[in-house]
Structure 1
Amino acid sequence: MTDVIRSEISLLEAEEQSRFVEMEAIRSELIRSGAIHKLWEEKQCETRNLTLQADRDLERALFDLEVERAAEDERLAGYLKEKAAIECQQELLLCLTKEVDEMRRKLVNETAIFKVEKQKLESDVQDLVEKRGAILEARSVLESEKAAIHILR
């Protein structure tokens, strides 16, 4: 059995050696004919072309990125201007609100003062009306007395 295995291993080794010799012969022929060199040159040329194309694509992408960045910067500047304008409007609104509140307080105070003065004037008018009535009544009495004195004379 070992002899069979040994003979099988020898056969396999011989086949492998034969393939190696064939590969070397093919390799030598390819080297001699320049096929490997030609293939190598084609691969290098293809790699150079792909590298150049990748560089152009990279430059185009970088340019597009710069254009987009500039547009983004412009949008950001616009947003910042709008934010500043809104903050300014908020400050103005706050100042106006405070001013309106102050005016409202003054109006409430002036309304209270007006009501007090109105009541005082109404009271004064009432007093004047009463005094006028008394004066008219006194005048009427005086006139009656004058007429009576005149009649008596």
Structure 2
Amino acid sequence: MDVKNICPESSPGLFMDMLAGERSILRKVFGQSKRLQPNKPSTKAQAAVALTSGRISEAIYNELTRLESENVSRQAEMEEMRSELLDRGEIQRFWHEKLNEGRNHGVEVEKHYLSAINELEQEKTVQEKYFADSLKEKAVMDCQRQLLFSLKGEINDLSERLASERRIYVTEQCKLQDMLSDLQSKQVGMLDTKSMLKAEIEALRTLRSWVEDEARKSQARAKVLEELGKRWRWDDQASLPSTSETEK
């Protein structure tokens, strides 16, 4: 047993209780346990067994008897007061007062009920108006949604059309780039041809000027030769008479 943990002032009483054997309070409370565990709180059942055991049981019995007798006397007094109140009619008067209070309370409740009904009717009217406005707004929103859907379809069609036109534009642009490249190459060829033509024209001009110079020179020589021929013919004609004269 853990007797060392028990307060020294309680040791004599504990020893005397242990000498009682089967009638010991410790035996009734803790049974055959050898550990008291004084620092552990006891349960309500253990406290009840301890209080109803030993010398204190008689005091508890007397206290219970006293409480029971007081309860009986209190019940008798209440019954006597009840009979007196019934004889005086105060209970009926009290009951009628309560009934009147109940009726008045019912009237007040009915007034509050009617006012609440009126408020509910007004609130119902407001809610119906709000519901009608909500339906109108919903109809407007539905129309706007349909309009948005139609606009979305048109935008999709326009997007597809723009995409196809863009593809056509890109194709045409590629073709134009190819044509531009061809034209540039042709332009380069034409520039080369033009430069060659210019060179040939210059050569032809040079040749023409040379030919003209040669023609003028030929004309001058022809004139000189013609003059010489004329002179030769004139000399021949002049020499012929003198020859004939000499022959004669």
RMSD value, Cα: 3.8
Query: Size of the alignment, in residue pairs?
Result: 151
Q: Does 1:42 align with 2:104?
A: yes
**What is the Cα deviation at residue 16 of structure 1?**
1.2
137 and 112 in structure 1: CA distance in 2 versus 1, 3 angstrom threshold: farther
57 and 23 in structure 1: CA distance in 2 versus 1, 3 angstrom threshold: farther
Cα deviations by residue, 1:62-96 (Å, 9 ceiling, x for unpaired): 22222222233233333333333333333333222
**What is the Cα deviation at residue 149 of structure 1?**
8.9
Distance in 2 between residues matched to 1:51 and 1:126, nearest whole Å: 105
**What amino acid sits opposite 1:11 in the alignment?**
S
Distance in 2 between residues matched to 1:16 and 1:120, nearest whole Å: 130
- Aligned counterpart, 1:105: 167
**What amino acid sits opposite 2:81 in the alignment?**
R
Q: Indicate which of 114, 134, 143 corresponds to 1:52.
A: 114
Distance in 2 between residues matched to 1:115 and 1:66, nearest whole Å: 70
Q: Does 1:80 align with 2:173?
A: no
Cα deviations by residue, 1:25-53 (Å, 9 ceiling, x for unpaired): 2123456xx64553343233223212212
Distance in 1 between residues matched to 2:69 and 2:182, nearest whole Å: 142
**What is the Cα deviation at residue 15 of structure 1?**
0.9
65 and 13 in structure 1: CA distance in 2 versus 1, 3 angstrom threshold: same
Distance in 2 between residues matched to 1:6 and 1:78, nearest whole Å: 83
Structure showing greater Rg:
2
Distance in 2 between residues matched to 1:64 and 1:102, nearest whole Å: 56
Q: Which has the higher contact order (CA 8 A, sep 6+)?
A: 2
Q: Does 1:27 align with 2:27?
A: no
Q: Does 1:70 align with 2:115?
A: no
Structure 1 regions of 5+ residues with no counterpart?
none
Q: Does 1:89 align with 2:151?
A: yes
Secondary structure of the residue aligned to 1:41 is helix
Structure 2 regions of 5+ residues with no counterpart?
1-61, 220-248
TM-score computed with the length of structure 2 as normaliser: 0.45
147 and 18 in structure 1: CA distance in 2 versus 1, 3 angstrom threshold: same
**What amino acid sits opposite 2:132 in the alignment?**
A
